[in-house]
A and B are shown apart, each in its own frame.
Chain A
């Protein structure tokens, strides 16, 4: 029997599908229906599913969400809710997954940058998107990816022309805001950097008041040869929000992606980053921090596949759990046969600040190639009592000393962020979230 969650989605689906941007395109209609049917048939993954072992969906299964927000265009949101220091270039803002031209900034785009909402692209010229959208969920398909493929009608489409270097960072904002009912929204992003192109992308999830909406987001990111992407994720969704994201990154020869992430908000949040280093010399650096407190559950999954020779990964993630917070980190790196000379490093260190907090970390390294350099390590521990005493013996109150040490622990993941103003802001946001942080910052 279908769960209330699946039932609620299925029940309203015909209605929702008929009104989605792009409805009426035969290939898209077929794809959406197919994905929806698969979602209804399979339901949500259960506890026996290895990939969901540490992230239980039982509570979610019993809830019903209203798909599609008819009021999204009219909901009051203030620009001060999401502006970031030093980030005032092109901006695309979505409220409950629906594009808001009034909050966005798409005038005077730099040369070489094409940026528009998916809803517009689907209506005006959907054909170039067919390749991306048709990928649906053929790999690592799960319930949320299917649901997203079926019901997402908006999102960001971003293309950087070959050789174009875009200096101003692009700000993508996904907003959740209070509503009478619990809503479900779905966003689909497509990012493509041409050969030798470069871009900084800031992906920002914001909550502007208490709510318990469910958001799903699927992003496809393609870096053609020698393209460079700096991608900074700041997730500060509302405390009650649920957020399921899957990012699929493809790197061609000598492409380089630097992915930073800060996971602060939400009640049940999962982010899956699938990366394929499929061109020789491709490189992925990823740094991130997740900070579950209260009863938050924050889950990060990296699935990085080295396919080509001389590819490199450097992943450094930190987790800090407080109160009854729960963190989950799964870092998988696969070096496929033939990816000789690959260099893969993965480190995940975690701190527990409370006896009720929990972090489960699982580094997985699979190597099928020769002459590979690989290192991985994961730890879960407490603050260094010796360091704590040292700070207190110099006069720092215990709470301030703990905050200072915790902040230092997290900052390792932000250290190499090029954007100075943003780096400082992220440091402040971190400090605010830590126990006693407001007084110490």
Chain B
């Protein structure tokens, strides 16, 4: 089986400081991988590098996505190729209508793939279907992107966008942070509803509790810029029990802790 995403010996810098120090990871189609790790381990940097944010300099290594060099693509090209990042902090964009934004994004992706664009009626029908799945109210569509949304609404909106855009690889960057238990369940349900043999997930999280609701196939521990331990979902429970310090002793050294 060929990997959907293959990260090899990835080194990346932010503002001259090396954050990722030789990270390697393979994700096959339909697999759900969780990356856990303490603050400062490089979790969010990984999500940002994969989605193409400015300011992240890759100094070594490679990322191959469905046979192509992912790092050579612009963020919008990655999106059109099926990579989706659910933001840890979704951005409020005053003045940009949510529906307009979603349709522009949806059609831009279709256009980039050489597919036909949807008119506003067709699109609205699609949006209504997807909204139901996330239990979001339709009045959210008439508001500006993320503006005045509660923390939970913002995160649910990210998962709703994912449902709409139907990516092949979804990266969820601490989507569980700041959520109460009900919102967490809703987010998890939204993700689970989209699990598919052709869709892979990379869940980036600090806490194990998200994994109670979204069961991963693999769990990796990220410390000091590389993966120091990999296993099945039971690894998450060990971490919960012993804390990240346990990894530092048990696995490779994770710097001064």
A residues whose Cβ falls under 8 Å from a Cβ of B: 384-387, 389-398, 400-401, 404-405, 407-409, 411-412, 440
Contacts and interface: CB of A to CB of B under 8 A. Distances in A.
A394 B105 contact: yes
Contacts of A408: 93-96, 144
A395 B76 CA distance: 4
A93 to B, nearest CB: 34
A403 to B, nearest CB: 10
B163 interface: no
9 shortest interchain CB distances as A-B pairs: A408-B95, A395-B79, A395-B109, A394-B105, A392-B75, A390-B91, A395-B108, A395-B105, A408-B96
Given A389-B53, A389-B54, A400-B108, A394 B79 contact: yes
Given A385-B54, A396-B76, A398-B76, A391 B105 contact: yes
Interface in B89-116: 90-91, 93-96, 101, 104-106, 108-109, 112
A392 B104 contact: no
Contacts of B74: 392, 398
A395 B75 CA distance: 7
Contacts of A395: 76, 79-80, 105-106, 108-109, 112, 165
26 contacts: A386-B91, A387-B91, A389-B53, A389-B75, A389-B91, A390-B87, A390-B90, A390-B93, A390-B145, A391-B105, A392-B76, A393-B51, A393-B53, A394-B105, A394-B161, A395-B105, A395-B108, A395-B112, A395-B165, A396-B104, A396-B108, A397-B108, A404-B104, A407-B95, A408-B144, A412-B94
B36 interface: no
Interface of B: 51-54, 74-76, 78-80, 84-85, 87, 90-91, 93-96, 101, 104-106, 108-109, 112, 144-145, 161, 165
A155 to B, nearest CB: 37
A400 B104 contact: yes
Contacts of B95: 407-409, 411-412
A412 B94 CA distance: 9
Nearest to B87: A390
Contacts of B108: 395-397, 400
A400 B109 CA distance: 12
A429 B231 CA distance: 58
Given A390-B91, A393-B53, 10 more contacts: A384-B93, A391-B93, A392-B79, A393-B76, A393-B84, A394-B79, A395-B76, A404-B96, A405-B96, A412-B94
B248 to A, nearest CB: 33
B93 A397 contact: no
B33 to A, nearest CB: 20
Contacts of B90: 390
Contacts of A385: 54
A440 B84 CA distance: 22
A408 B144 CA distance: 10
A397 B91 contact: no
A42 to B, nearest CB: 44
Nearest to B48: A389
A412 B74 CA distance: 30
A385 B91 CA distance: 10
Interface centre among B80, B84, B104 (most CB of A within 10 A): B104
Contacts of A393: 51-53, 75-76, 78-79, 84-85, 87
Nearest to B144: A408
Contacts of A411: 95
A440 B79 CA distance: 18
Nearest to A397: B76
A385 B54 CA distance: 9
Contacts of B79: 392-395
Nearest to B94: A408
Contacts of A389: 53-54, 75, 91
Nearest to A390: B91
Contacts of B145: 390
Contacts of B96: 391, 404-405, 408
Interface centre among A386, A387, A390, A411 (most CB of B within 10 A): A390
A394 B165 contact: yes
Contacts of A387: 91, 93
Interface centre among A395, A400, A408 (most CB of B within 10 A): A395
Contacts of B76: 392-393, 395-398, 401
A69 B134 CA distance: 66
